[in-house]
Amino acid sequence: MTSPIEPPDAESGHGKADGAGGNHGRKATPRSNKSHQTELFETDIPPWELPAESSIATATIVFSEAPHGPYDYRIPDSIREKLKIGMRVHVPLGRRRKPITGWCTKIDLETKAQRSLRDISEIIDEEPLCDASLVRLVLWMSHYYQAPAGQVFDTLIPSSVRSNAGTREKTYFRPRMESLDDATINGLPKKQQAVVRHLIAAARPLTAVQLMAEATCTQDPIRRLHKKGLLKSETRREMTTANPTRWQVSDGETERSLTLTKDQSHALQRITGAVDSGEGKTLVLHGVTGSGKTEVYIRAIEHLVRFGRGAIVLVPEISLTPQTRGRFERRFQSVAVLHSQMTPAERHFQWQRIRSGEVQVVIGPRSAVFAPLPRLGLIILDEEHDSSFKQDTQPRYHARKVAHARAMSLGIPLVLGSATPSLESWQATQTGHAEMVPLPSRVNDLPMPDVQLVDLRVKDDRSSGAISRPLHAALQETLKDHGQTILLLNRRGFATTIQCPACGDVVACPDCDMPLTHHRDGGKAICHYCDYTIPTPPACPACRFDGIRYGGLGTQRLEAEVKAKFPEARIARMDSDTMRRPGSHQKVLTMFRRGDIDILLGTQMIAKGLDFPNVLLVGVINSDSALHFPDFRAAERTFQLVTQVAGRTGRGDRSGRVIVQTYSPEHPAIQAASRHDYHQFAKDEMVVRRRFSYPPLGSVARIIIRGSVEDVTEAVADSLLTQLDAARKQLGHEVRILGPAPPPISKLRGKYRFHILLQATNPAHLGSTIRKAVEGFTIADKDDVQYVIDIDPMDML
């Protein structure tokens, strides 16, 4: 984990104009002798292109839509003092000089350049939406992830902020004192006199509504005074009524500080030491489940707050935000949350609170890494191993890497917390790029739960349903003891396949060629990749046989089986189907904490970060569901998921137990998870990764090519392969190229897909090879083919 603010290689990665027409701003080109990201847009102009002794102020502008830029524009004298980097501007573009919104990334007040540059039309923002450090982060992300800088800006700044959601313009009036003497005032009509005298006495600007109420007048005297030039007016944009407590989850009470264990105290000292030293350092807080990582986070932030600084705490999913926020709200005066379930006005309101410096702690999923805290002192990623920290749309960033970039550029610590750290983080501790901070024991010396593996290949153990005989017996015992149970099945729906036993036809999505999942609630067959939905067919669509069968197991079917076998139990299901409404996560978890639910079953969202002392049993219904995916991270994900859900039990006075149902009990990932042995798993898995140079011992990039016509898409993929191979040879880089080939999901949302995988031990070589290849690569519009570059992919499907 070296500091990523320095570009991975010497290339600028600006990209080309992508078909822009007309004499818009001059295209910026990088200086060959500059390597720092902030200098990517500096330009050298051939002397024969410069008029003699010409000197103008210029700004470098990038766009979120093609052509992406960067382009240079002249700064008119009227806005020269107002324009700052990180602001949005309107500029003319193309032959028709169409006005377009762009972002200012650089200003040069003394540029010797052509006078033919176009002028910036106007400034949109009163203040920069990104400060200088965030602009540097944008440029680094654009370079590393090979995404247009304008798109990265749009990712950093929520659309609710860019559109001023929840605001309106108000006009304020104040007296023009230089034009108002006693004679002038006394010569006015009485109602106009009353308005002027009231404004002078108020000693502050007032709106027309305020003036009418306080001076008991209509709009007419205000309008006439303004027309005479006796009143000045100014327009301000202000937030409308917002409810800052709608997402508050604490009861307003304070939470007393807990007594730290020896391990917690040592971990806290390591973190606060890094804070005090002003040294950008990455610390991997490896704490077993129940070891008290959150208390360490809180104490470290309390240390920061004493010095007027703030922290960002990232959690992997929205479902964790209420629980995490509740603990922080009880310990800090000002906590803000940012997530996608908020209304645009709420999100904008919170963003403005954060930027104003009012907020001490920001909590949210991956996008909260961009929170504009003015005095940021610490970034924390809780459950840092979680794959949801990776963005699956452009720009395809990973919050862990971006957090590292931001922390290192500011010289502040980054804390990566997990019971099952990613192998990337583990390897960083082995190579000296990060520091391992262990929490090897649970708080109060509680024992880790016993894990029992149930071999589903053994006839005596398995049953006709999803619940094996050992798990059934354990459920009965737990209910008898008035304990609670968590059951994990990482597949939603009722049945994963709908198949005809007569002709063998499987009901599939026409747009994705993937089997539809039967959802008994509502009687629907749904594609979990594109949301294509039809009523579940009562008979085979191909041969009309009416004995259609539902195969596979989802959370709905598991729920039905549990209800049938344990009718007296109070059962709740937690998956993306039942958790659609805002606040639904919090409602179910509150009921579970109160003891109103005996058995909580669901997908992986129940495996992360939940702390309930009365959970005595955890059952993993099918631990093999992700183990045999065509993905080199399959074993790591399986180990993490089983270990994390196992850690939900045994956190109270009574010991817990875990039952893991599997067809692969000998697999190293399953074995290590059953022993809670992270270090053994990491050592075993790194042997496999080393053999194939997989991350973290090498770098991987994936290019997905997609189009409406299969053979045309494949031809474009072949052409891109030729470009990549030529770039690799021209640069002399050791880059392995695989493909193009159809990925496991070969058709998605009506588009045929091919992918090319690139591997290299040097990530800079990987990036420069791709950049060189796509620099001159064009696709005809008629081909209807697009490609996506995914650096450090987390998904190979």
Q: What does the pLDDT look like over 325-378, one tens digit per residue? A: 788 888 998 999 887 777 888 888 889 899 999 999 999 999 999 999 999 999
Given a cut of 70, whether residue 28 has pLDDT beyond it is: no
- Residues 590-625 have pLDDT tens digits of 899 899 999 999 998 887 767 788 999 999 999 998
Q: Architecture of domain 26-157 in CATH?
A: 3-Layer(aba) Sandwich (3.40)
- Taking 3-state DSSP, the helix, strand and coil percentages for the chain, each rounded to the nearest 5, stand at 35, 20, 45
Residue with the bigger pLDDT between 234 and 473: it is 473
Euclidean distance between CA atoms 600 and 608, whole angstroms: 13
| pLDDT tens per residue, range 396-447 | 999 999 999 999 999 999 999 999 999 999 999 999 999 999 999 998 888 8
Q: Which pLDDT score, from 0 to 100, does residue 47 have?
A: 46
Residue the block writes with tokens 């001023």 = 164
The verdict on whether omega for the bond into residue 70 sits within 30 degrees of 0, i.e. cis, is yes
Please give the residue that has the higher pLDDT: either 139 or 5.
139
CATH code 3.30.70 for 167-239: no
Beta-carbon count within 10 A of 87 CB: 21
Any idea which fold 699-791 has? Alpha-Beta Plaits (3.30.70)
Q: What is the pLDDT of residue 319?
A: 56
Q: Which two tokens stand for residue 657?
A: 């137990």
Q: How far is CA 734 from the centre of its chain?
A: 32
E strand spans, 431-483? 435-439, 450-455
- What backbone phi and psi angles, to 5 degrees, belong to 67? -75, 135
- Give the pLDDT of residue 322: 66
* Contact of 171 with 222, CB cutoff 8 Å: no
**What 8-state DSSP symbol labels residue 445?**
G
- The answer to whether the beta carbons of residues 275 and 378 sit under 8 Å apart is yes
Residue 657 scores a pLDDT above 50: yes
**Mean pLDDT, range 169-173, rounded to an integer:** 86
pLDDT beyond 60 at 38: no
Provide the 10 A C-beta neighbour count for residue 240: 10
Average pLDDT over residues 626-634: 89
Q: Which two tokens stand for residue 249?
A: 């989850």
Q: What is the CATH number of domain 446-492+554-691?
A: 3.40.50.300
User: pLDDT, tens digit, for every residue of 214-266?
Assistant: 888 999 999 999 999 999 888 777 777 555 545 454 545 556 667 899 999 99
In angstroms, the CA 700 to CA 759 distance is 5
Mean pLDDT of 11-31: 38
List pLDDT tens digits, range 309-325. 999 999 987 656 666 77
Which residues of the chain are in CATH 3.40.50.300 domains? 262-346+358-444, 446-492+554-691
pLDDT for the residue 224 = 92
Confidence (pTM): 0.84
pLDDT tens-place string over residues 559-592: 999 999 999 999 999 988 888 777 787 888 889 9
The pLDDT tens digits of the residues spanning 517-532 come to 999 988 999 999 999 9
Q: CATH 1.10.10 residue ranges in the chain?
A: 167-239
Query: Distance (Å, rounded) from C-alpha 536 to C-alpha 515?
Result: 12
Strands (E), 424-481: 435-439, 450-455
Q: d(Cα 206, Cα 442) in Å, to the nearest integer?
A: 60
Instruction: Tell me the pLDDT of the chain averaged across its residues.
Output: 87
Per-residue confidence band for 463, with pLDDT thresholds at 50, 70 and 90: confident
Structure tokens at 12: 């600028």
- Mean predicted confidence (pLDDT) in 785-796: 94
- Opening angle at CA 450, ends 594 and 654, nearest 5: 35
Residue 33 pLDDT > 60: no
* CB burial of residue 723 (10 Å; 0-12, 13-18, 19+): middle
Alpha-carbon span 337 to 339, nearest angstrom: 7
* Polymer length of the chain: 797
Instruction: Read off the pLDDT of each residue in 103-111 and give the average, rounded to a whole number.
Output: 90
Element (H, E) at 107: strand 98-111
Question: Above 90 in pLDDT, residue 677?
Answer: yes
Q: Integer distance in angstroms from the first to the last C-alpha of the chain?
A: 26
In this predicted structure, the answer to whether residue 305 has a pLDDT above a threshold of 70 is yes
Q: Is the pLDDT of residue 771 over 90?
A: yes
- 66-99: per-residue pLDDT in tens? 888 899 999 999 999 999 999 999 999 887 778 8
Fold of 262-346+358-444: Rossmann fold (3.40.50)
More confident residue, 174 or 5: 174
What residues does 453 pair with on adjacent strands? 660
CATH 3.30.70.360 domain locations along the chain = 699-791
pLDDT, position 495? 92
Q: What is the mean pLDDT of residues 656-685?
A: 95
Peptide bond into 740 cis (omega under 30): yes
Distances (CA, A) of 283 to 142, 299, 312, 432, 433: 26, 15, 15, 11, 9
pLDDT for residue 257: 67
Measured CA to CA in angstroms, residue 113 lies from 13, 38, 97, 572, 705 at distances of 23, 20, 21, 68, 40
Q: What is the pLDDT of residues 486-541, one digit of tens each?
A: 999 999 899 999 999 999 999 999 999 899 999 998 899 999 999 999 999 999 99
Q: Which amino acid, 368?
A: A
Nearest-CA neighbor of 615 among 290, 177, 195? 290
Asked if 414 contacts 281 with a C-beta cutoff of 8 angstroms, the reply is yes
Backbone angles phi and psi of 106, in degrees to 5: -160, 145
Please, how many CA atoms are within 13 Å of residue 392, restricted to the half-sphere of its CB?
A: 7
At 594 the pLDDT is: 92
> Residue 16 and residue 776: Cα distance in Å, rounded?
8
